Amino acid sequence: MKFGLTAIALAALISSSTILNPVVLAQNQQSTVPDAPTPQAPPQLSGVNGSAITPGKGSEETPANPTSSSASPVQQQPPAAPSQPPAAPVVDTVQTAPPEGFDALPRFVLNVNFVEVPVTVKDSKGNLVAGLTFRDFQVYENNTRVPLQLFSVDPAPLSVAFVIDQSLTSDVMAKVNDSLDAIQGALTPYDEVAVFTYNNGAQERTAFTGAQSSRLPAVLALTKATGSDMLVPINSGPLAGCSIRQNGACVDPNLQPGGSAGGGTFITIPKEIHTLNDAILAAAKELSTRPKERRRIVYVVSDGKEHGSKASLREVIRYLQTNKIAVFATGVGTSANWGEGYISRIHLPFTMYDNILYKYTAATGGDFDSERSMNGIEKSYAKIAEEARTQYTLGYLSHESIYDGKYRSIDVRVNRPGMDVKAKAGYYPSAQDRR
């Protein structure tokens, strides 16, 4: 009897120790946490009949004894018969690369020539006309109307190459020198300026710099010159001889009768030197490197006389029209005098050109302003800068071939009476205009 009670007490003690054991308690608590869901295979695509799909090769038949990384003792049940009719069999297609020299898809390349035309419109009183729309303009190239692809009235930043004539007379040169300080006031911080001067040859004073930089006034101060005074020429008579002699001969052989300057009875008066063409060409070369989105302008302050340049007028105009450069000018001296300014445009044979600036402005779409006083020259800077900045910008696609390089005439018309339209007379195509 005692043995039985002892066995029962011992069994109860073992059971209580097992329950109080922390290891056993932890195992009992973990057994109550549910397991994570078992990963399931993705469902098969309908209409593929269990085939494997390889990118670029379509579908392939499933091998007879497929192998699986996880050996499952449960045999997969055969799929139930579909309720819809079976899909059409998948054809095995293999993409092959196209032969060399051919594209996968046809590609059409059409080279066109985009032409940009800045236009200035003034009324009968010379005031700028604002508020026009694209419906008011008509553009003709080689007498054929072209539809507009671009119309803009936004002001454009300017790249201005100033060309200052230093062969003017001393009184006119003094007015130009005093007016140079007003150039910077006509420009904005977004503009850039280069300065050129010419007398007997062109000289670059500074490359392009900021219009509001401190460098520009310093350079303009260095460009001030005294000019040259015109003397009364005497080529015959007793006063035509040399007044200064040495050992019976004239000190200057160019003024000696019978020398290189003339015959035995008269003296050939040397011609004046005004290299205007070379100066504009030097400024245009510097402008041709500026970005397309900037408006390229050559601004000339001169009387328009030309003699002694290596470049001809026709060559310089062609270069300007090819590189989208417009010439604006302020005429001073004889070209600004009433009546004489129009007579100076007439060229007499075997004589110097008295004024060719109007030819540059008419061919490139610029403007010519004649001023006699210093105050008028200063106002001319602001007026021409405003005119160049606020031009209407028209653009179209040329119907001519881009490979011929021939000249194309441009005629811009405004459907309003009494309007003065200024635009470039034509252009020469270049590879930079291809689109």
Give the SS3 label for residue 246: strand
The predicted model scores a pTM of 0.68
CA gap 315, 416 in Å, rounded: 35
> Is the distance from CB of 280 to CB of 269 less than 8 angstroms?
no
Q: Does an H or E element contain 26, and which?
A: helix 22-31
pLDDT, residue 74, reads: 46
Q: How far is it between the farthest Cα atoms of the chain?
A: 176
Q: Indicate the pLDDT class of residue 242, thresholds 50, 70 and 90.
A: low
Is 275 found in the same domain as 368? yes
Higher pLDDT, 266 or 367: 367
Is 168 found in the same domain as 298? yes
Q: Indicate the pLDDT class of residue 8, thresholds 50, 70 and 90.
A: low
Match 């010159």 to its residue by tokens.
225
Is 120 part of any domain?
Answer: yes
Is 373 found in the same domain as 319? yes
Is 407 part of any domain?
Answer: yes
Is 381 found in the same domain as 276? yes
Is 149 part of any domain?
Answer: yes
CA gap 236, 255 in Å, rounded: 11
Is 414 found in the same domain as 303? no
Is 124 part of any domain?
Answer: yes
Render pLDDT for 212-229 as a digit per residue (tens, 0 to 9). 999 999 999 999 998 887
Match 């009949």 to its residue by tokens.
49
- Which residues, 6+ apart, have CB-to-CB distance to 88 below 8 Å? none
Range of the domain at 200: 157-221+269-389
CA gap 31, 387 in Å, rounded: 91
CATH number of the domain bearing residue 360 = 3.40.50.410
Render pLDDT for 411-421 as a digit per residue (tens, 0 to 9). 999 999 989 99
**Residues 302-326, mean pLDDT to the nearest whole number:** 93
- Which residues, 6+ apart, have CB-to-CB distance to 385 below 8 Å? 158, 160, 186, 187
CA gap 228, 171 in Å, rounded: 9
Q: Indicate the pLDDT class of residue 92, thresholds 50, 70 and 90.
A: very low
CA gap 257, 370 in Å, rounded: 41
* 175: pLDDT strictly greater than 90: yes
What length does the chain have? Answer: 435
Is 364 part of any domain?
Answer: yes
Give the SS3 label for residue 383: helix
The DSSP annotation for 58-115 comes to EEEPPPSS---SS--SSPPPPPPPPSSPPPPPPP-----PPPTT--SS-------EEE
Is 410 found in the same domain as 276? no
Higher pLDDT, 273 or 34: 273
pLDDT, residue 247, reads: 67
**What tokens does 112 get?**
């066109």
Is 61 part of any domain?
Answer: no
Higher pLDDT, 185 or 12: 185
How many CA atoms, within 13 angstroms, populate the side-chain half-sphere of residue 254? 3
Nearest residue to 317 (alpha-carbon basis) of 365, 350, 275, 377: 365
CA gap 192, 212 in Å, rounded: 8
Is 397 found in the same domain as 276? no
Domain count, the chain: 2
Higher pLDDT, 426 or 19: 426
Match 């470049």 to its residue by tokens.
311
CA gap 370, 302 in Å, rounded: 10
Please, what sign has the CA dihedral across residues 234, 235, 240, 242? positive
Is 299 found in the same domain as 414? no
Is 238 part of any domain?
Answer: no
Is 384 part of any domain?
Answer: yes
Is 285 found in the same domain as 319? yes
Is 395 found in the same domain as 385? no
CATH number of the domain bearing residue 412 = 2.60.40
Is 373 found in the same domain as 281? yes
Taking only Cα atoms into account, the Rg of the chain, rounded to an integer number of angstroms, comes to: 45
Is 191 found in the same domain as 336? yes
